[in-house]
Structure 1
C-alpha cells in the first residue's frame, strides 16, 4: 500500500478513536507523529476534480441535447429514467474494476438524474398546485435509502442539499410567499431542524464504532448539514430577529432581541470550535472559525460601516482580512517546523 495512503488511514482511525473517547489527546499525538502525512493531499484534489469534471460533462451533454434534439416531456422522462438506471448500474460496476471514486461519482450523477426524472413527471402529471417541494421530498426519501443501501457518502451529501432546499421551499410554500429563506414563518424552524440533524449525526457517530461500522464517515454529513443550517439560521436571526409572516413593512427587531441572537450565535460558534479542538475534529474547527469571522464582519458592516463611510470600511475590512490570512499562514508554518523538529 502507498505509505501516504496508509498514514492517512491511520490518522483517520486515530481521529475517530479520539472522538469516541477511546484514546486521549496525548496518545493521539504520540501515535500520529509516528505516521507523518505529506503537506498536500494530491489524491484528495484529484477526487474533487474528478467529481466536478463528471458533473460538468453531464451538464454539457444535457445542454447539447437541449439545443440539437427535440424532446417531448414523455420522451424526456423515458430518456432520463434510462440514464438514471444506467448511471446506477455503472456506479455499482466500476468499484469492482478498482475505480471506486469514479463509481461513487456515477452514482451521484444517477441521483441528480433521478431528481430530473421526478420534475419531468411532475410537469406531465401536474394538477396545478405548484407544490414542487413535494417532489423533492420524494427524491430525498428515495436517495436517503439508496445512500445506505449502496454505502455512498456522496449520495448522502446530495440528500443534505435536498433537505436544505426542500425544508426551505416547503416552509415558504406553506407561508404563501413563494419564497425561500425570507418566506418561512419563523427562522427558528431551521434552527430546530439543525438541532435534530446534529443530534442524529452525534448518535450516528457513536454507532459507527460497532452497529454502523460500514457507514463510517456518514455522520460527518449529518453533522455538517446541521451545522450549516443552524449557523445560517443564527446569521439571519442576528440580523432581523425572529419574525412571523411579513405582510407589509419590513420587520425591525428591537436592539435587545438582536443582541440576544448575536450572543447566542457567538456562543454556538465558540462551542463548536471548542469541541472541534478538543476532539481533533477538523470540520468543527472550520465551521467555528468561519462563522465567528462572518459574525465579526457582519457586526462591523451593520454597526460601524455607515458611520465610518463605505470607503474606510472596505479598506479596514480588506486589510484585516489580509492580516488574518497572513497570521494563520504564519501559525501553520510554525506548527509545521515544530513537527519537523520533533521528528528529527
Structure 2
C-alpha cells in the first residue's frame, strides 16, 4: 500500500510542478495518501541546489585563477555555459530518453552562474572595464530573470532577486558617490521602501493569466519579507542616521525605540495579512522576527546590566515560554 501511495504522490508532484493541476486540488488529493517519514523530494531538491551552486563557483574559480589568457577564460566559460544549458534543457523534456527535471534545473542554474562570470569577462576584454561593474551587474540580473521565467526555474529566480538586491544597493551607492544617503534615504531605509514592492510583485503574479509556478510567488514573498525585516532590524540597532559600516555609533534612544516599534508594527501587519489570506509564509516570518525583535531589545537593555548567568537563565525561560505557547496554539488548531 505504501508503494502505491508513493507512486500516486510522485505523479501528483509531477503534475503540480508542471502546472497541470492547481494548488488546492493538489493539496486535497495529496492529503488522501500517506507520505513517507523521509521527504526524499526535499532532500533531492536541496542536494541538487547546493551541488549546482558549488559546481558553478568551483568552475568559475578554476577557470579564472588558473587560466591566464582572458580569451581562453571567455571561451571556456562560454562552452561550459552552453553545455550546461543544453543538457539542462534536454533533461527537462519528457520526450528525451533521460527525463530528470530536477537535475536539469540544477544544470540550468550552473549555466546561469557561468553566464554571470562570462559577461564580466567579456566586459573586461571588449570595454576594458569602461562600463562600470554596477551596470554589468544590472545586465546580469536581467539575464537571470529572463532565464528564470523562460525555464520556470525557481533557483535561478533566487539568483535574480539576490543579484537585483545587490545591484540596487550598488547602483544607488555609485550614483550617490558611495555616500550613506541616496535621495535622502540611508541604505537600510532604501530596502524598507523597496521590499514591500517585491512582495507585491509576488501577489501580482497570482492575478495574471500566465502559467507561473507557485514557487515563484513564494520566492517573491520570501525576499520581500526578509529584506524588509532585516532592514528594520538594522535601523532598530543603529538608527536612521547611524553608519552601517561603523557599529557602535551613539544614537538617540528615542530614535532606536521608534524603529523598534515600527519593526514590531510591521510584523503585526504581516501577521494579520498572513492570517487573513491564509499565507503561512507571512505568519512564519512575522512570528520569527517578532521574537528576534524581543531578543534584540533584551540584549540591548540587559546585557550590561545583569549578571550573565541570570541573563541567560531569563533568556532561556523566555524562549521556552514562547515555544510552549506556540505548541499549545498548534495543538488547539490540530
Give the structure-1-normalised TM-score: 0.77
Q: Aligned-pair distance for 1:159?
A: 0.6
**Aligned equivalents of 1:31, 1:321: Cα separation in 2:** 37
How many residues are paired up?
322
Per-residue displacement from partner, 1:203-242 (whole Å, max 9, x unpaired)?
A: 11222xxx12344431212221111111111111212222
- Relative to structure 1, the CA distance from residue 172 to residue 295 in structure 2 (aligned partners, 3 Å threshold; closer, same or farther) is same
CA distance in 2, matches of 1:247, 1:61: 32
Matched, 1:258 2:256: yes
* Distance across 1 between alignment mates of 2:325 and 2:205: 36
CA deviations 1:56-111 (Å, max 9, x no partner) are: 244445555567x4331221112111211221111110012321111111111111
Q: 1:141 to 1:65 in 2, by over 3 A?
A: closer
Are the counterparts in 2 of residues 202 and 219 from structure 1 also a CA contact under 8 Å? yes
Cα distance in 2 between the residues matched to 1:251 and 1:290: 27
The C-alpha deviation readout for 1:151-171, integer Å capped at 9, x for no partner, is: 222211111111121112223
Task: For residue 115 of structure 1, report the CA deviation from its aligned partner.
Answer: 0.9
| Contact persistence 1:190–1:229 (CA under 8 A) | yes
Q: Does 1:88 align with 2:85?
A: yes
| Residue 79 in structure 1 maps to residue 76 in structure 2 | yes
Give 1:22's aligned residue: none
Cα distance in 1, alignment partners of residues 63 and 14 from structure 2: 42
Indicate if the aligned counterparts of 1:201 and 1:219 stay in contact, CA closer than 8 A. yes
Q: Distance in 2 between matches of 1:187 and 1:107?
A: 33
Unaligned runs of 5+ in 1: 19-27, 340-344
Q: Give the root-mean-square deviation of aligned CA atoms.
A: 3.9
Higher relative contact order (CA 8 A, sep 6+): 1
2:117 is aligned to: 116
Distance 1:319 1:306 in 2: 19
- Higher deviation after alignment, 275-284 or 286-295: 275-284
Q: For residue 33 of structure 1, report the CA deviation from its aligned partner.
A: 5.8
Structure 2 portions without partners, runs of 5+ = 1-5
Greater shift in the superposed pair: 31-40 or 257-266? 31-40
Cα 1:109–1:326 change in 2 (3 A) is farther
What SS does the aligned partner of 1:2 have? Answer: helix
Match of 2:9 in 1: 4
2:269 maps to which of 268, 271, 277? 271
Deviation string, structure 1 residues 142-200 (Cα, Å, up to 9, x no partner): 221221122222211111111121112223333434899xxx73422111111211221
Cα shift at 1:314: 4.3
Partner of 2:285: 287
> In the aligned structure 1, how far is the partner of 2:227 from the partner of 2:284?
15
CA distance in 2, matches of 1:30, 1:159: 32
- The 2-side partners of 1:29 and 1:82 are apart by 42
The answer as to 2:169 corresponding to 1:164 is no
